[in-house]
A and B are shown apart, each in its own frame.
Chain A
Amino acid sequence: MIILGIESATSQVGCAIGGHEGVLASVHSSRGKRHAENLTPQIEFVLEQARIRMDEISVVAVDVGPGLYTGLRVGIATAVSIAFGLGVPMIGVTSLDLLAYPVRYCSKLIVATIDARRGEVFHANYLQVPGGVQRVSEPAVSTPDDLAADLIAHGNEALLVGDGALRYTETFAGLRGVDAAEPNIAYPSADSIVQLAHAKALREEFVTPTELEPVYLRKPDAVEIENQKRKLS
Chain B
Amino acid sequence: MTSGLTLGIETSCDETAASVVTSDNVVLSSVVSSQVDLHARYGGVVPEVASRAHVGLINPVISQALVEAGVEPKDIDLIAATNGPGLVGSLLIGVSAAKALSLVWGKPYVGVNHLEAHLYSCFLEEPDLELPLVVLLVSGGHTILVSMEKHLEYTILGQTLDDAVGEAYDKVARYLGLGYPGGPVIDQLAETGENNITFPRPMLRDGYDFSFSGLKTAVINYVRNNPDAPIEDIATSFQEAVVEVLTVKARKAAIETKAKGLCIGGGVAANSRLREAIFDICLEDELHPFVPSRAYCTDNAAMVAATGWRRFLHDGPTLLNTGANPNLKLPEKVHL
Chain A interface residues (CB < 8 Å from chain B): 34-41, 43-44, 54, 69-70, 73-74, 76-82, 84-86, 209-210, 214, 216, 220-223, 226
Interface flag for B223 (CB, 8 Å): no
User: Considering only CB atoms, which chain B residue lies closest to A216 in the complex?
Assistant: B52
User: Considering only CB atoms, which chain B residue lies closest to A208 in the complex?
Assistant: B59
Residue contact A39 to B96, C-beta cutoff 8 Å: yes
Residue contact A226 to B101, C-beta cutoff 8 Å: no
Q: Pick from B42-50, B133-141, B295-303 the stretch touching chain A.
A: B42-50
Residue contact B323 to A77, C-beta cutoff 8 Å: no
B112 CB → nearest A CB, Å? 16
A22 to B63 alpha-carbon distance, docked (Å): 33
A86 to B105 alpha-carbon distance, docked (Å): 8
User: Considering only CB atoms, which chain B residue lies closest to A213 in the complex?
Assistant: B56
Residue contact B55 to A76, C-beta cutoff 8 Å: yes
A34 to B59 alpha-carbon distance, docked (Å): 23
Residue contact B97 to A220, C-beta cutoff 8 Å: no
Contact residues in A for B278 (Cβ distance below 8 Å): none
Checking B94, B100, B320 against A82 with a beta-carbon cut-off of 8 angstroms, the contacting residue is: B100
Q: State the 10 A-B residue pairs at the shortest beta-carbon distance, nearest first.
A: A85-B104, A81-B100, A220-B48, A36-B323, A77-B96, A222-B46, A81-B97, A40-B99, A40-B320, A78-B100
Contact residues in A for B104 (Cβ distance below 8 Å): 54, 81-82, 85-86
B323 CB → nearest A CB, Å? 4
* Secondary structure class of chain A's binding surface, majority of residues: helix
A70 to B54 alpha-carbon distance, docked (Å): 12
Contact residues in B for A36 (Cβ distance below 8 Å): 92, 95-96, 323-324
A20 to B41 alpha-carbon distance, docked (Å): 50
Interface flag for B115 (CB, 8 Å): no
Contact residues in B for A85 (Cβ distance below 8 Å): 73, 100-101, 104-105
- Per the CB 8 Å criterion, the residue count for chain B at the interface is 37
Chain B interface residues (CB < 8 Å from chain A): 41-42, 46, 48-49, 51-52, 54-55, 58-60, 62-63, 73, 88-89, 92-106, 320-324
A116 CB → nearest B CB, Å? 14
Checking B55, B102, B106 against A214 with a beta-carbon cut-off of 8 angstroms, the contacting residue is: B55
Residue contact B99 to A223, C-beta cutoff 8 Å: no
Residue contact A41 to B320, C-beta cutoff 8 Å: yes
A220 to B35 alpha-carbon distance, docked (Å): 15
Residue contact A84 to B59, C-beta cutoff 8 Å: yes
Residue contact A222 to B42, C-beta cutoff 8 Å: yes
A46 CB → nearest B CB, Å? 12
User: Considering only CB atoms, which chain B residue lies closest to A73 in the complex?
Assistant: B55
Identify 16 new A-B residue pairs, CB closer than 8 A, beyond the known A40-B103, A214-B55, A222-B49.
A36-B95, A37-B321, A77-B94, A79-B100, A80-B55, A80-B59, A81-B62, A81-B104, A82-B103, A84-B101, A85-B100, A210-B60, A220-B49, A222-B42, A223-B49, A226-B42
B261 CB → nearest A CB, Å? 38
Residue contact B101 to A70, C-beta cutoff 8 Å: no
Contact residues in A for B41 (Cβ distance below 8 Å): 226
